[in-house]
Every structure is written in C-alpha cells, then in structure tokens.
Structure 1
Amino acid sequence: MDYILPPIFPPLTVTDQMGRRVAVPFSPQRIVSLVPSQTELLFDLGLGEKVVGITKFCIHPVEARAKSTVIGGTKNFNFEKIAALKPDLIIGNKEENYQAGIEQLAANYPVWLSDISTLPEALDMIRRVGFISGAKEKAEAMATEIDASFAALATDKNAISAAYFIWRKPYMAAAKGTFIDNMLLRAGFSNVFAGQARYPEISAEQLAAAAPQRILLSSEPYPFNEKHLAEFQAICPAAKIEIVDGELFSWYGSRLRKSAAYFSQLR
C-alpha cells in the first residue's frame, strides 16, 4: 500500500491589529504568547497543548506554567529560550510588549500583534486569534457570548464620576485611550481623568479637585489592598472607595466573559 503524504498548506498571510502583514503557518503548532490575557484566551480556546512559551506574568490558567516554558517578562524577553522553543507563531500586544524586542523577534518568526483600547477591538482580537490558531468556531462563539453579556449590562443614564488608580507612589490613573477607560464607561462610570491621556501621574491636589464620587483601586498592577483605603479617604472624604478586580477591567481576552456580571455588582 502506498504511503500518502499529508497535505501541505501554504502559510496564511494575515493582517494584525497594528496593520502589519504576517505570514503564519496553517495551522500553528508551537505558539509563544507574550501577553497574560492572550495566554488565557489560547487555553480557553482549547489550544493549550500548542502553547510552548509564556511570560512570568501569565498566571491563568494555573496549568499554563506546568505545560509551557517561561520566556521572561512582557518587556524583557529571553531570546535564547524563545529560539529553543522553535515557535511557528508569536502573539503579542503593542502596549504590553516593547518595540525593540518585538522587532527582534519579527526578524526571525511570525509575530502577530494586538492593539486594544475598546471592547470591539478586544472582540476582534479574539476572533482573529481564533482564526489564525485553528479555533475559529470557538472564538466566534466566545466573542458573541461576551458581546451579548455587555449588551445586557443595565446602566442608567446618570453615570457615576470615578477615578481608577493602577499605581501608588506616584499615583497613576487610567485615563483616555485605555481599555480600562472603555470598561469604566460600559460599567456606568464617568472617568474624571478622561481629559488626560493614557496613564497620567495624579497628585493628591488634582484628585481632591476632581472630587470623584467613587475611587476604584485596582488589584493590579499595583497590589492595592484594604490598608490603602484610608489614604484615599483623607484626600476625598466624600468619595466611596473600594478595591476592584483589575483583571476584570484590563484583561481583554476570555476573562471578559466574567466582566459584565462583575460590573453590574459595582453600581
């Protein structure tokens, strides 16, 4: 009986969210993920066995560390470890990764980059990653589920003024152009620092002058906890201050399936 060779498919040339043209194999078998939320997405799409490399910040799911090699951080890649993994696809992000490192990787491997500041862009990323990695149907179903959960999120017309802090010493808030700002809007909040860009440093005087009704202290990247509540209460005595789950405000992959329900409880 003659042995029949499996079909060989040419690479797919796709466009990433940065507008870059990337030739990826059909379908990739050795994926390195450089972003925690996108690592979790790949596993939730049933592609965990194909993920050979992750960053030290990729904490979800818990089995990712056991199945994949840690290749450094999101902004300091270990290029030797990545080379040893022989990836046929690397998935990163414009904001979370660093340009010089991405350019070095792109010279040797297919590198697909996301660029996300809104929910529609996150849903687009989920669908595109599913398509290029061989899980198109699962990704479409997931994106549809997330979209529906946000569409059903009931918020009244009177948005609650809020400040969302991601860092301490110096204080840094999420402002215009960030995914967090878009999530705040969808959760029914009006960002008091929306007039500033990205992640500005905010003085105590600026915060007091802004006088938000709510101050949301993110659980990440700075680990705000209960001991910090009094510190902010002294600046804004009339504000309601609470610790919030930073992953549900800033992770733009499959974790978004939990975000809308969480937001509805914050109102």
Structure 2
Amino acid sequence: MKVVSLVPSITEALFDLGLTENEVVGRTKFCIHPADKVKNVPVIGGTKNINIDKIKALQPDLILANKEENIKEQVEALMDDCKVLVTNVETIEDNYYLLKTLGNIFNKKERAQQFNLKIYDVLEQAKLDSANIKAAYLIWKNPYMTIGSDTFIHKILAETGFENIFKDKTRYPVIEMEDLAGADVIMLSSEPFPFKEKHIEEMKAFYPDKKIMIVDGEAFSWYGTHIAKCGNYFRELLAEIHAMER
C-alpha cells in the first residue's frame, strides 16, 4: 500500500510501526523523523500548503491527514481523487485509537499495541511527586500564545502532574505577559515558535523569581509513537522541577 502522510508525527509513527520508504511515498517538509528514512521520501509541501498535483501524481492508496494540522479545503480537494483518512487527536485515548487504527490498516497490530503499552508506561512513570505545580506552556511569541484544555499538550501536562493555569481556555489563546503571574513554572516550547535562551532572559526581566525553561515541544505535542521514546526526557524534566521546589 502506498501512503502519503501530511502529518509529521504520523509519518514518524508509520516508520516506527515498520513501514518502509517503498510504502510511505510522500511527506511534508516538517516530517523530520526518522531522519535516515524520511530523507528518501519525496516532499509534497508543508502541512498548511500541500502540493495537491504532486500528491495525486504519486497515486497513493491512502492519504493521512489531521483536522488541526492541515487545511480543510486542501484536504477536501484531495478527497475528489484519493482515499483520505482525517485524524483528530486531543487526548491520550485518541492517540491509543490512532495507533490501533494504523496497526489495523497496515497489518501492524502487535507493534501498534507495543507502542501503546509503552506510552502508558512512560506517562505512568512521569509523575510529579508533589501536588500539582501550576504551569504556563507557551507555543508562540508576538503575540504570546498558550494552550487551552482541549489540546493534546494540555493532556500531557496533566498526565505528568502539572496544572495548566489556562485550563479554563480553549485551543490556543493569545495572552499578555501579566497573565503569567499565577504560574510556578513557565514553559517555552521549542516549537512551533523556536524559543531560545534569549527569550528566557526577556521574561526574567518581568518575572525574575519564576522558573522559566525551554521544553521539548515534540515531547508534549507529537502524538503517535513519539511519547514512547520520551521516558528519559520526562524524567530529567521532572527532576529539574523537583530541584526547583527544594
């Protein structure tokens, strides 16, 4: 079966499940994992600006898209000639069924279940010892944007014991610097906006006593198989948070 993936984390999952470059015949420029495999797969644009003609020329049996990451009109244009599966992952349970579905489609049921079990194990091990630490997770700058309670990132924060101070919001609200006052820790994600150390310094000028840190955006936002590989990262992150409390 020839498949085109319009979603970076799903592309990674396909290879993790055991598909090869002969089966994954198209990807976006943001599909960067696993690097040694995706380098051989043709790029069909970005997640928001796919090249529809290039995709159709690949004659895929299936195109994998995502409700949030891809543009509805572009995906619908593909549906005229191709079979498209549109995914929507907002919870850990959604992710479980995503992998289960991929396992069924590509006859990789056992491998999909192994990843699902590993993900639950990683999240079970990655728990803060103390009561919920109030966290603000920023995904964008100019304007500052954070995450509401109906996002996958929020679910990962909650699973690891953090309390999202913007849990009363939905999707990706714009906030002001003053809105971060209630946070114990401010997390600056490495993606989609590439926060750097200089941005920590900018915030420190406003909040000199707060814990402000860069976090791995992939660990919090990449659904599919990625979380299964983040056990060490979450352990180190939580150890840093615990050190802050002492």
For residue 13 of structure 2, what is the aligned residue in structure 1? 41
Contact 1:213-1:238 at 8 Å conserved across structures = no
Secondary structure in structure 1 of the residue aligned to 2:96: helix
User: Is the partner of 2:187 in helix, strand or coil?
Assistant: strand
Q: Which runs of 5+ in 2 are unaligned?
A: 239-246
Identity of aligned residues (%): 46
* 1:148 alignment partner AA: D
Report the counterpart of residue 174 of structure 2 in structure 1: 201
* Alpha-carbon separation, structure 2, partners of 1:235 and 1:260: 33
Amino acid at match of 1:217: L
The 2-side partners of 1:126 and 1:263 are apart by 21
| Alignment deviations for residues 98-150 of structure 1 (CA, whole Å, 9 cap, x no partner) | 11011111121111121111111112101111111221221111111211222
Q: CA deviation at 1:260?
A: 4.0
Conserved in 2, the CA contact under 8 Å of 1:58 and 1:64? no
How big is each residue's C-alpha offset from its partner over 1:25-73, in whole Å with a ceiling of 9 and x where there is no partner?
xxxx110000000000001111023000000110111134432110111
Q: 1:108-147, aligned counterparts within 5 Å?
A: 108-147=81-120
Look up the SS of the partner of 2:174 in the other structure: coil
The two structures, once aligned, show a CA RMSD in angstroms of: 1.4
Which residue number in structure 2 is paired with residue 256 of structure 1?
A: 227
Give yes or no for contact 1:40–1:60 (8 Å, CA) kept in 2.
yes
Work out whether 1:32 is the aligned partner of 2:11.
no
Q: State which of 201, 213, 217 in structure 2 corresponds to 1:246.
A: 217
Contact 1:187 1:260 in 2 (8 A): no
| Rounded Cα–Cα distance in structure 1 between residues aligned with 2:186 and 2:127 | 21
Residue 157 of structure 1, CA deviation: 5.3
Q: TM-score, normalised by structure 2?
A: 0.92
Alignment match, 1:73: 46
Kindly provide the CA deviation profile for residues 159-185 of structure 1, in whole angstroms up to 9, marking residues without a partner as x.
Answer: 100100011111011121010001111
Q: Point out the structure with max Rg over C-alpha.
A: 1
Aligned equivalent of 1:158, options 131, 150, 154: 131
Distance in 2 (CA, whole Å) between partners of 1:170 and 1:62 is 32
Cα contact 2:132–2:161 (8 A) shared by 1? yes
Which amino acid letter does the alignment assign opposite residue 81 of structure 1? Answer: K
Q: CA deviation at 1:189?
A: 0.7
Q: Which residue of 2 aligns with 1:171?
A: 144
Q: Take 2:122 and 2:54, find their aligned partners in 1: how far apart are those partners?
A: 39
- What is the TM-score of this pair, normalised by structure 1? 0.85
SS in 1 for 2:175: coil
Amino acid at match of 1:45: L
Task: Return the match for 2:70 from 93, 97, 109.
Answer: 97
Work out the CA distance in 2 between the residues paired with 1:125 and 1:65: 21
Aligned residues: 237
Counterparts of 1:110 and 1:243, CA distance in 2: 39
Contact between 1:172 and 1:201, CA under 8 Å: does it hold in 2?
yes
Structure 1 runs not aligned, ≥5 long: 1-28
Separation of aligned partners in 1, 2:232 and 2:93: 18
Change (3 A) 1:148 1:65: closer
1:221 partner letter: P
How far is 1:78 from its partner? 0.4
Paired AA for residue 194 in structure 1: K
Shift in Å, 1:264: 2.8
Is 1:237 aligned with 2:208? yes
Residue 237 of structure 1: how far off its partner (Å): 2.5
